[in-house]
Every structure is written in structure tokens, then in C-alpha cells.
């Protein structure tokens, strides 16, 4: 019961931060998306109120992050609006995009591993 | 209807993925394929599907806000490694621009496609907005963004094994720079800290591309 309450409360607080972010986006900062504003706001508040609040929000945040990929599904299905991309150009375009992202992933991970990864800085946990 | 179908299909996809634990069965990928199949089979349109499924989109916002928790949890480690993270994400942005947008430009592809291509490694909800502002094609941008994210999530673990990438910072920066939020969510399944590095990296990448996109477009056209 306590867990369920904590989960619901956490979700609610995160959603409120998102709504505030959206408000700031529409009235003050049209170039920064509401979700990013909400995230920075929540991060700032966490820096002020510290560990306690973060413990309290943990469950709600975990749930949202776990299902993050689900929230992308409706947009991705939108690919079917581009039946004109089922063409030679479409094939070229999408293959190039995927190849480019693949190159970023491979080059960054392998080069970073072999240079900076070795001297990664870490702190002891308190 | 679209809402319920999406939830059921994703739930099933998640179940299969957890049973078989194969990267190619990434739920967002299999669920998307199945739903596209269902739309064609039943002869509905995307508009009809999206009319109710768009409620799911809405949760992207709170999910992005929720990412501030892992950022907070690992703030000290992230701060210590800030120089490495920032410089390598910048390097990643350059690789992405040269291998994607510049190639399109060389083939004299229309400006709107080049702008969409520039945004492919930024997180989808942000990319859609920026594409609209700078003259890209928002729905196309959304699709290549999610495809990049899925690519990172699907092949990432295999790439890391193949190239013996073991440090969390290398895994996180590369995944964040290439696969933004979807890749980050995959990384968080088995590694919290790499996921936090990935979160800060995709945020940096998004900020960087927001600034660089108009510059690159100005230089090219």
C-alpha cells in the first residue's frame, strides 16, 4: 500500500514538473521543449532537496524510464505515411541515415574505450 | 482502439523479449512492425490509428523529465568526467553531420531532407520541434530519429562485445550520441551508470544539434 502510494505520488510529481515545463515553454522559452525544461527544473530541485526527494521519486521515475520505448511507438508507426519513400531514393536515404548512426556508435565507443575509457574518473560511494 | 492495440501489442512484445532476451526483438521495434501490419490488414489509416494512440505520445514528456533522477544519482561521476563526455559528444556530432548530412548535400538532395538528417541523433520529441522551426520535415525527422534510436538499442550490445568496449563511459557516450533516449533506455536495462552517461550525452547532443543545425544549413546553402 505504501509502495503504491509512493509510486503514484512520484509519478504525479514528475508529471507536474512536465506540465510546468510545458507552461514555461509556451510563455517564455519557445525554443526549448517543455520536457527538457521540466527535466532541468526537477534536477535543480533535487540538488536543493537532496537524497530524500530522490528516494521518494525513484519508483515513479523507474517505471517511466522502463516504458520510455513504448511512448515512441505511435510516432514510429507514422513511417507508413511515407509510401513514396518506398523507392530508390527512400532506400538510399534511410540506409545512409542508419549507416551514419552506426558509424557514430562504432567510432565513438571503440575510440573512447581505447583512449579516455582507460583513465575514467570515479568517486567512492558515500 | 489504436491506444488499446498499442498497449496490448507492446505488452506482448515485451513479454517475448524478456523470455528470449534477444536484442533484435527490441519491443519498440517488434511492436511497431506488428502494428503497421495490423493497420494494413484491417485497412485503417494512420490518422485513424493516431487519433487515439497519441495519448501514449504524451508520456514521452514525463519520461524525459524522469531521466533527471539517474542524472542526480550519478552527478558526481558525471561532473568528474565532464571534459571527456563533452568533447567526445562533440566529436560524435561531427561524425554524424559529415557521414549523414554532408553526403546528402554532395548528392544535391533537397535542403529539407538535409535538415531532417542533421537531427537524426537527437531525441525525437525535441527533433520534431526543431525540424519545424528550421525547415525540416517533422514526421520524417521523427521516423529517422526513432530508427537511429532503435538501431543503437538493437546493435549496441553486439557492437560493444565485438569491439571489446567495457567502460561505462564509452558505452554511455556512444549510445547517447547515436541512439538518444531509446538507446539510453536499453542501456539502463542492465547498467544504471552507463545509462546516466548516455542521458547526459544525448542531452548534450540535442543542445549541440539545435545550435549547429542552422550553422551547417547556412554554410551549405
Model pLDDT, residue B175: 95
- Give A64-102 pLDDT, tens digit per residue: 988 888 998 998 888 888 777 778 888 888 999 999 999
Stronger pLDDT, A18 or A5, i.e. the higher one: A18
User: Do A74 and B92 count as a contact with CB atoms less than 8 A apart?
Assistant: no
- Give B79-91 pLDDT, tens digit per residue: 998 999 999 999 9
A98 contact B CB<8A: yes
State the nearest Cα–Cα gap between B92 and chain A, in angstroms: 6
- Give B161-212 pLDDT, tens digit per residue: 999 999 999 999 999 999 998 999 899 888 889 999 999 999 899 889 888 8
As a whole number of angstroms, the distance between CA B81 and CA B78 comes to 5
The mean per-residue pLDDT over the stretch B87-112 comes to 90
Q: Are A100 and B157 in contact (CB under 8 A)?
A: no
Model pLDDT, residue A123: 55
Q: Kindly list the domain boundaries of chain A, sorted by start residue.
A: 1-69, 77-117
Residues of A in contact with B6 (CB under 8 A): 70, 73-74
Residue closest to B176 by CA, chosen among B162, B164, B190, B186: B186
Alpha-carbon radius of gyration of chain A:
20
A24 contact B CB<8A: no
ipTM of this complex prediction, to 2 decimal places: 0.91
Q: Are B141 and B132 in contact (CB under 8 A)?
A: no
Amino acid at each position: 500500500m505504501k509502495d503504491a502510494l509512493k509510486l503514484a505520488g512520484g509519478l504525479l510529481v514528475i508529471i507536474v514538473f512536465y506540465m510546468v515545463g510545458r507552461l514555461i515553454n509556451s510563455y517564455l522559452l519557445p525554443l526549448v521543449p517543455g520536457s527538457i525544461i521540466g527535466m532541468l527544473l526537477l534536477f535543480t530541485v533535487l540538488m536543493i532537496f537532496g537524497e530524500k526527494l530522490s528516494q521518494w521519486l525513484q519508483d515513479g521515475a523507474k517505471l517511466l524510464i522502463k516504458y520510455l520505448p513504448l511512448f515512441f511507438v505511435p510516432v514510429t508507426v507514422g513511417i507508413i505515411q511515407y509510401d513514396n519513400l518506398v523507392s530508390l531514393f527512400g532506400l538510399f536515404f534511410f540506409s545512409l541515415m542508419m549507416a551514419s548512426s552506426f558509424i557514430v556508435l562504432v567510432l565513438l565507443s571503440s575510440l573512447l574505450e581505447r583512449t579516455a575509457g582507460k583513465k575514467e574518473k570515479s568517486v567512492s560511494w558515500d | 482502439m489504436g491506444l488499446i492495440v498499442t498497449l496490448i501489442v507492446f505488452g506482448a512484445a515485451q513479454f517475448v523479449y524478456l523470455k528470449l532476451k534477444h536484442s533484435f526483438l527490441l519491443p519498440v521495434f517488434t511492436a511497431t512492425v506488428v502494428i503497421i501490419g495490423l493497420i494494413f490488414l484491417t485497412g485503417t489509416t494512420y490518422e485513424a490509428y493516431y487519433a487515439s494512440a497519441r495519448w501514449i505520445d504524451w508520456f514521452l514528456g514525463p519520461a524525459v523529465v524522469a531521466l533527471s533522477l539517474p542524472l542526480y544519482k550519478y552527478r558526481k561521476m558525471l561532473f568528474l568526467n565532464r571534459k571527456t563526455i563533452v568533447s567526445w559528444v562533440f566529436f560524435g556530432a561531427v561524425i554524424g553531420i559529415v557521414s549523414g548530412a554532408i553526403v546528402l548535400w554532395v548528392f544535391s538532395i533537397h535542403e529539407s531532407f538535409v535538415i531532417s538528417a542533421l537531427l537524426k541523433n537527437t531525441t525525437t520529441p525535441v527533433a520534431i520541434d526543431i525540424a519545424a522551426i528550421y525547415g525540416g520535415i517533422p514526421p520524417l525527422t521523427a521516423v529517422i530519429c526513432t530508427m537511429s534510436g532503435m538501431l543503437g538499442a538493437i546493435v549496441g550490445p553486439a557492437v560493444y562485445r565485438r569491439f571489446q568496449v567495457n567502460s561505462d563511459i564509452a558505452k554511455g557516450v556512444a549510445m547517447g550520441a547515436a541512439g538518444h533516449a531509446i538507446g539510453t533506455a536499453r542501456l539502463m536495462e542492465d547498467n544504471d551508470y552507463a545509462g546516466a552517461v548516455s542521458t547526459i550525452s544525448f542531452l548534450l547532443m540535442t543542445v549541440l544539434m539545435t545550435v549547429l543545425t542552422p550553422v551547417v544549413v547556412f554554410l551549405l546553402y
